[in-house]
Structure 1
Amino acid sequence: MIVLYSHPLSGNSYKARLFLSLLGLDREVKTVDLMKGEHKSPEYLAINPFGQVPALVDGEEVILDAQAILVYLARKYGNESWLPLDAFSLSAVTRWLSTTSGEIRQGPEFARLFHLFGVKTIDIEMAAQKSAFILEAIEQHLSDRDWLATDTPTIADIAAFPYIALAPDGHISLDDYPNIRAWIDRIRHLPGFVGMRSIPAPDTVGV
């Protein structure tokens, strides 16, 4: 049984939970209460010494970091379309995994941390500027394509999706980005999609 250590408001936890669902894998999701400091407990630090979520345990394997979890699941349980092996496609996926940990983190993710979680050490003006930069770049990138890396959805899309879709939580509007909104909708209609707060599944819209 795969066990995912997660928090329901964590976008990084969500991307792992989403991909597990898209792959149709049996899993147990265990909540780590960040507000109570459970991520710093000796029990959890024995699983993830970094004290972060998500962490995934698959038998004797322990995989840390959301992007690494996506790579592991794609290679072990997915087909090659999720993580292609040809040099060009693999480089394209890797580029977006890097962008997720770089520009998307420093922009929409940091803005969300500031506004939703009150992390006041974040420079919100810089986060807003970085958000505008990466959203404009992705909007342009999606002007003639449906998916970020290849002609089909890959883990690049799953990695980038949560904090882009959650941008309004950080007071970052997506109104001026129709290509991004269409991309978000395509992901929301993938078979096996599950939502989280602020990202409802299609059949729960308006509920």
Structure 2
Amino acid sequence: TFNEEKFAKSILLFRNAPRSGEASPAQFIFNRPVRDCLPAHRRSFAPEWQKAADVLEKRARRSKELQIAHYNKHTRPLASFIIGNHVLIQHPISKLWCTPGVIVEVGHHRDYLIKTPAGRIFRRNRRFLRPRVPVFPATTPATTPATTPVQPGVIQPPQPEPTEPPVRENPAPPIQENAVPPVLRRSTRKKQPRRHFFPAEWTQ
């Protein structure tokens, strides 16, 4: 059966409970908490305690604002990307910028679809993307020999003919496949016979 007394007590407790970061509904209406079934000291309903609670609440709000201002002191807005931009994706565990990719789609909430060289598609927020400058292989243009422009009426001196590199007078001998290695040089010093010492001789 429905118990009206329990329901009334629960409603009273609900109206006397403070909301997240704010006062309770009873404090909004009566400017103080009301008595309920929970035990409380009689001085907890005094006006000076309510004023002290308001001061502490203002201090906490001010401290939170200072924390937010200090946290956002050195922040800056990130530039948005367009389709075709080359980016690097941050790894969620190692926090390294190691996965390259290309933007293929731009979302509505600062999210992007990135296609990697392996063909995989990732959806990442702007804070996990970094612009990347692609490096293409350098192409060397064909070099042509430098020629002196011919001026009319001026006799050009004869150009020196290219000379071949000088030939070495003592070229290195060719390596033979079945060559016999040279005999190693041995020492002519006579070897002395080994002398073994036993523990009995050490004490003499």
Q: TM-score range by the shorter chain?
A: under 0.3
Specify the structure having the higher radius of gyration (Cα).
2
**Alignment TM-score, normalising by the size of structure 2:** 0.17
**Alignment TM-score, normalising by the size of structure 1:** 0.17
**Greater relative contact order: 1 or 2 (C-alpha under 8 angstroms, separation 6 or more)?**
1
More strand by share: 2
